[in-house]
Amino acid sequence: MTKTKTVSPAAATFIVAAVQFLTPFMMSAVGVALPAIGKEFSAGAFQLGLVEMAYILAGGILMLPAGRFADIHGRKKVFLTGLSVFICATFFIALAPTMESLILLRFVQGAGSALVATTSIAIISSVVPPEVRGKAMGIVAASVYMGLSASPTITGFIIQYADWRWIFWGALPLQLAALWLTFTRLHGEWFGAKGAPFDWAGSIMYAAAICMAMTGVTHMRAGGIFPVLFVAGVIGLCGFIFWESKAKHPILNVPLLKQNRTFSLSSIVLLMNYAASFGVTFFFSLYLQQIKGVSPQYAGMILVIQPVIMAVLSPFAGALSDKINPGKLVIIGLSLCTVALGICATVTAATSIGTLMVILVLLGLGFSFFSSPNLTVIMNCVEPRHYGVAASLSATMRTLGMLTAMSSISFILSMFMGSKSVSAAPEAFISSMQTGFAIFTVISAIGVACSFASLSAQKDSAMYNTTPKSTDA
């Protein structure tokens, strides 16, 4: 009989946190590098938008099916596969000869990131005992925000003194080190439904519906077939949910959503929080540079306030969620976000930069007390066999929230500004920003109400305090 190696909770948390630093770092870095990329390839705004959209689209398509696939074939195996794909894509992006190849490789990189994101939290939940799981979630969340915080400064320095491709060359050694750590230190494997059939039909249906909906909403203003595609995508998603409710081995556990109100409500709250808050950086970046006339570097220094606060406070909030009901922290965090968004809706051209800093501080505090405690609620209210599905649904909700925010912003800007630039129509931009933040404030307030409902539902949901045993990888 061979001795089975098992990974310690601390080692698993460190490895997952290291990887979770690198993926958002690269996502943010590409956003900063887009002007340099556009200059080299003579690409317009539409093509540059596709560089970002391809990454998000891959995540939207794969996160939900990947969770179920990991439950069946092993969470560590899918985690390693995703990290390997991400690294390969990073290497080839540094060599990309055309804009078209770059967009395709960004889709591949997004696919790898989706596999990593959907298994990271499931692995943490599989290894770390429930009584200290909140602290681990906080550490992982902090690493994500550290990646987002560090990326603009480092990327800006590289672009100023070297070619944009060095962003990817420089990241490769760190990514390879993370891969080596995973291979050599993350011992064991974890399953939720080992050997069960995989719902390929449902996965294809889901992917097709997401593609149609995203393509339609992205090009809605162009008219033609795109509104039809959007409607077809929405109908397809409804059909997918119906299919999953009847499937024997679904990728989306509809009965779990129906029966476990804590799980379903906390997932909805997650979507609403990202839908309400994700557009802040987009609006404020344009506002600071185009309305206030500050430099990109100074704008970046202001906008980094929020993720820095999140990186500092997330471990504290995670540890606190192990000592008190994390649902209460979720309410506090989301309430702070709602107040901050309400202030955002009052911003005018005369608003001081100091006021914007206060808003970003409030958002940083709110996200810190929301993010890891909400994940703790979600993962603690499901059985270990559902960890993969729960983690993938959480990642999917985040992505759908981001897409909802950006789609709403695109629609609002098209209504108020048409094809005008911000500098050509500053008053129209201010009006669109105020309208957007007013809508986001309402969404966030509804999220607060749902978080209260989730808290009251926790007494009806079993909180599963077992950590599944690992099998040798």
Q: Is residue 137 classed as helix, strand or coil in its secondary structure?
A: helix
Helix, strand or coil for residue 222?
helix
Q: Which residue has the higher pLDDT, 340 or 254?
A: 340
Residue 371 has pLDDT above 80, yes or no: yes
Exposed e or buried b for every residue in 212-225, given b needs 16+ CB within 10 A?
Answer: bbbbbbbbbeeeee
Residues 317, 373 contacting (CB under 8 angstroms): yes
Helices 353-380 & 130-161, crossing angle to 10 degrees? Answer: 140
CB 29 within 8 A of CB 169: no
pLDDT in tens, 93-117: 999 999 999 999 999 999 999 999 8
Cβ atoms of 69 and 78 within 8 Å: the answer is yes
Residue 221 pLDDT more than 80?
no
Q: Which range among 3-12, 42-51, 394-403 has the greatest average pLDDT?
A: 394-403
Residue 471 phi, psi (nearest 5) = -110, 155
Question: What torsion, rounded to 10 degrees, do the Cα atoms 357, 360, 365, 366 define?
Answer: 140
Check whether 257 has a pLDDT greater than 80: yes
Task: Identify the residue with better confidence: 337 or 395.
Answer: 337
Averaged pLDDT for residues 211-238: 84
Give the whole-number percent of the chain exceeding pLDDT 90: 34
pLDDT given at position 109: 95
Res 364 pLDDT > 80: yes
Q: What local confidence, expressed as pLDDT, does residue 363 receive?
A: 95
Query: Can you give the pLDDT at residue 472?
Result: 43
Percent of the chain residues past pLDDT 70, beyond the cut: 93
Least confident piece of the model among 122-131, 230-239, 367-376, 408-417: 408-417
DSSP result, 376-439: HHHHHTS-GGGHHHHHHHHHHHHHHHHHHHHHHHHHHHHHHHTT--TTT-HHHHHHHHHHHHHH
What stretches of 254-295 show up as alpha helix (H) in DSSP? 254-259, 261-277, 280-286
What SS3 class is residue 297?
helix
Does the pLDDT of residue 135 top 60, yes or no?
A: yes
Which one has a higher pLDDT value, 420 or 10?
A: 10
pLDDT confidence bin for 419, thresholds 50/70/90:
low
Averaged over 5-10, what is the pLDDT? Answer: 74
Name the residue with higher pLDDT: 418 or 318.
318
pLDDT of residue 421: 67
Q: Where residue 473 falls among pLDDT bands split at 50, 70, 90?
A: very low
Q: How confident is the model at residue 9 (pLDDT cuts 50, 70, 90)?
A: confident
Distance, CA of 399 to CA of 10 (rounded, Å): 28
**pTM, full prediction:** 0.79
What pLDDT was estimated at residue 136? 86
Q: List the one residue out of 303, 42, 35, 315 whose CA is nearest residue 151.
A: 303
pLDDT for the residue numbered 466: 47
For position 332, what pLDDT does the model report?
95
